[in-house]
Amino acid sequence: MFEFDILARDPTTRARAGVFHTPHGEILTPVFAPVGTQATIKSLTPAQVTETGASLVLANTYHLYLRPGDELIRDLGGLHRFMQWPGPILTDSGGFQVFSLADSRKVDADGVTFRSHVDGSTHRFTPEKAVAIQENLGADIIMAFDECAEPHDRRYNEEALARTHAWAVRCQGAHTRNDQALFGIVQGGVFADLRQESAGFIGRQGFPGNAIGGLSVGETKEQMHSMLEVVDRALPEDKPRYLMGVGTPEDLVHAVQRGVDIFDCVLPTRLARNHAVLTRQGRLNLRNAQFARDGRPVEPGCACYCCANFTRAYVRHLIVADEILAASLLSIHNIYLLVSLTREMHQAILDGTFAGRA
C-alpha cells in the first residue's frame, strides 16, 4: 500500500512517469486532481468527473469540518461513500484555508485559533486536530498541518517554517490509520535556503509522499521554477512529489520537467463558472459576441463530452441565457484538458518522447 513505482524517467529533464498505489485504486503520474472544495466538483456528478478521465479528486478539510462536520461524514461512512467518489481522494490539512480565508486568526506554537468565515464562530486547529479531522473524513492521502506564509516576507517565513516542521512531526505522531498516506509539506516562500532546509527536513521524516506548498501565491514564474529546482534536489527521489494549488497547462509542464508528480487546482472549474475555456492555444471567453454563430466545438480536436457534442454558439447561448449547464460543460472540457495533458506526459515519458515539450 502507498508504494510509488517509477516506471520511466525522461533522460533530459527531471520528469518521471509513475504509479502510486492507494486503497481506492492506482494513480498514474504525472496526475492532475480537480478540486471538490465542498465534497463536490462544482456542477458535475461523479459519473461526469469519471468521464473526464480524472483518477484523483481533492476535498477541503477546513470547509468540511465547518460544514457539514467531519464527525457527521464519518458516521455516514466516510467521504468516499458520502460524495459517491469510488476512486482515490486527497484532503488538504485546512492550513491554507485557515491562513487565507478565516476571518481572524491567531497563531501560536501549538496551533491556530480562528473564526469561521461561515458564521463567525471560534475554532482551533492543532496538528493533532487536523489529523483527527482528516481521519474522520477518510481520504486516501491526507496532509500535514502547515503554515502558508506570505512568500516574500523573510522573517515570517523563518518563523512559519519552524512551526511547519514541528507540526509535521506532531502530525506523524497523531496519525493512526494505516489505510491513509500522510504527506509532509515543504514551505519556505521564495527563499532558496529556506526551501532547501525545508525539503531536507521534511524529506528525512519518511513520509510516503511530499508536498510543495506556498507556491503560485504571488511569486513570479521564474521564482516558482527555481524553488522547484531547489526542492527537487533535496527531496527523496523515490516518493511522489505534490505541487499544491498549481494548474495552468504551462505550469504543469514546467513542474513535471522539474520532478513534480501530482497537481491540484480550482482553476478549471473556477474558469468554467466565469465562461472561460482552457485550450492548448490559450484561453477563450465564450461570452464574447464573436462566438455567437461559431459552429466549431469549444476546442477543435478535443474528445471531451462538451467538444464531441456541442458548438461554441450553443455554449455561448447557455452563458447569455444564464443556464447552469454552461458551467457543467465548460468544467468538463477544462478538467478533461488538464487530465489529458498529464496523461499524455505520462505516456510520453514512457515512450521516450517527452523531451522537447513546452
Question: Which positions are catalytic?
Answer: 92, 264
As a residue count, the chain comes to 358
Q: What is the DSSP string of 66-99?
A: HTT-HHHHHHTT-HHHHHT--S-EEE--SHHHHH
Q: How far is the CB of 280 from Zn ion (least distance, A)?
A: 10
CA 244-182-178 angle, 5° bins: 150
For Zn ion, give the closer residue by CB, 38 or 340: 340
Nearer to Zn ion, 169 or 325 (CB): 325
Residue whose C-alpha cell is 529533464: 13
Beta carbon nearer to Zn ion, 304 or 348: 304
- Rounded Cα distance between 331 and 275, Å, is 9
- The piece of 40-48, 86-94, 248-256, 307-315 that touches Zn ion (CB under 5 A) is 307-315
Q: Which residues of 4-14 are buried (b: 16+ CB within 10 A; e: fewer)?
A: bebebbbeebb
Task: Kindly state the smallest distance separating residue 10's Cβ from Zn ion, in Å.
Answer: 27
Cα separation of 80 and 138, whole Å?
A: 8
Q: Would you put residue 78 in left (φ > 0), alpha (ψ -120 to 50) or beta?
A: left
Q: How many helices (H) and strands (E) does the chain have?
A: 14, 16
**In the numeric block, which cell numbers belong to residue 159?**
518563523
* Residue with smaller CB distance to Zn ion, 239 or 275: 275
Give me the least distance between CB of 307 and Zn ion, in Å please: 3
Contact stretch for Zn ion (CB under 5 A) within 71-79, 133-141, 282-290, 293-301: 293-301
Closest CA to 90 of 201, 196, 208, 11: 208
Q: Is 307 in the site for Zn ion (CB under 5 A)?
A: yes
H helix runs in 208-258, sequence order: 221-234, 249-257
Fill in the per-residue mask, 318 to 337: x = in contact with Zn ion (CB under 5 A), - = not in contact. ---------------x----
Nearer to Zn ion, 17 or 339 (CB): 339
Q: Counting contacts by CB under 5 A, is residue 80 touching Zn ion?
A: no
Cis peptide before 68 (omega within 30 of 0): yes
Piece of the chain touching Zn ion by CB under 5 A; list 160-168, 196-204, 236-244, 298-306? 298-306
Shortest distance, position 247 Cβ to Zn ion, whole Å:
16
- Binding mask 252-291 toward Zn ion (x if CB under 5 A, else -) reads ----------------------------------------
Among 58, 79, 267, 302, binds Zn ion (CB under 5 A): 302
Which residue, 149 or 278, is less far from Zn ion as judged by CB?
A: 278
C-alpha cell at 24: 481506492
Report if residue 235 touches Zn ion, rule: CB under 5 A.
no
Rounded least distance, CB 329 to Zn ion, Å:
9
Whole-angstrom Cα distance, residue 41 to residue 15?
Answer: 28
Minimum CB–partner distance for residue 330 and Zn ion (Å): 9
304 binds Zn ion (CB under 5 A): yes
Residues near Zn ion (CB under 5 A) are: 299, 302, 304, 306-307, 333
